[in-house]
Amino acid sequence: MADSVLRKALDSGETLVAPGVYDMISAIIAEKVGFPAVFIGGYGISASHLGVPDVGIMTFTDILERVRMISEAITKPVIVDADTGYGGLVNLRHAVRSYEKAGVAAIQIEDQEFPKRCGHAKGVQVCTSDEMVKRISVAAESRNSDNFLIIARTDSRLELGLDEAIKRAKSYSKAGADLIFVESPQTVEEMEQLKKDIDIPLVFKMVPDGKLSNLDSKVLAEMGFSLLIYPTLGFLSAAEAIQNAFYEFKTTGLVKKQTMQRFDEFSSMIGFEEIYSFEDRWDN
């Protein structure tokens, strides 16, 4: 069952910053760096586990196993992108119960049509507001504890406009959502309008190349956003570093220019010192 850490932090007015993690290494690093929470998105898991785009190919079983492993390995709250619920309402109920049992602190549910796709991909289509209200209502009914938070995300801004996105957000809040995430606001003025019109905590997604990517976490906190997620930070940083190192090795036969963590530091990070300590206590 989810604990109250995330809810208490949000209720206190604190702005939480959660980087996107996609495997055990990125999750462990995020915790050791000191982030208060982590975000697991479908894009990173789909790419790292299956090597395919986030267009609804990955199954619930695929992501649940990885979420469970990350949740067991770190102590910080885990927030998970639950897409549209992986099917119908029964599938969503199963996902809510499974994620809560796995120790997840919050899930994000989207108002896209099933199968969903990444919000920045071509061909995104939203379902009716009534359908999404059912999803939120089922999720709220299916959780065992109010500490398991529900983030309602609407992708309607680009297709249907800001007014419709705000109207949907209010409906989702009434249906039981604990936080609202309006995908792709286009200006600072739109973000200010969201804060003015929506009376529950707001989520903002930070991206490296969006229209509002110049806004840092401090500015976003001052604007009143409660949860800041940066889903692509981990895997985009890793991909660039790995590609550069591999390219240098392929072309020169050596790796001199790329920055690498020392092997002993990496070994310590993933727990070798604890293993050695255990062996010293029991192998005598």
For the stretch 242-261, pLDDT in tens is 999 999 999 999 999 999 99
Predicted pLDDT at 44: 94
Euclidean distance between CA atoms 223 and 225, whole angstroms: 6
CA-based max dimension of the chain: 70
Euclidean distance between CA atoms 244 and 113, whole angstroms: 38
Q: Which amino acid is at 83?
A: D
**Average pLDDT over the chain, rounded to whole?**
94
Predicted pLDDT at 130: 98
Euclidean distance between CA atoms 128 and 117, whole angstroms: 17
Two structure tokens written together for 24: 């055990």
Residues of the chain with pLDDT under 50: none
Predicted pLDDT at 98: 98
Give how far Cα 251 sits from Cα of 152, 244, 255, 258, 261, Å. Answer: 47, 11, 10, 13, 21
Contact 22, 39 (CB under 8 A): no
Two structure tokens written together for 261: 């963590």
Two structure tokens written together for 162: 């800001």
Q: Which amino acid is at 257?
A: K
Residues 6+ apart with CB under 8 A from 85: 91, 92, 95, 109, 114, 135, 138, 139
Residue with tokens 């010192």: 273
Helix, strand or coil for residue 4? coil
State the DSSP H helix or E strand holding residue 252, giving kind and residue range, or none if neither: helix 233-252
Predicted pLDDT at 123: 58
Q: Which domains does the chain have, with CATH numbers?
A: 5-233 (3.20.20.60), 240-282 (no CATH)
User: In this predicted model, what pLDDT tens digit does every residue of 60-76 receive, in sequence order?
Assistant: 999 999 999 999 999 99
User: In this predicted model, what pLDDT tens digit does every residue of 84-116 receive, in sequence order?
Assistant: 999 999 999 999 999 999 999 999 999 999 766
Euclidean distance between CA atoms 217 and 226, whole angstroms: 10
Contact 157, 186 (CB under 8 A): yes
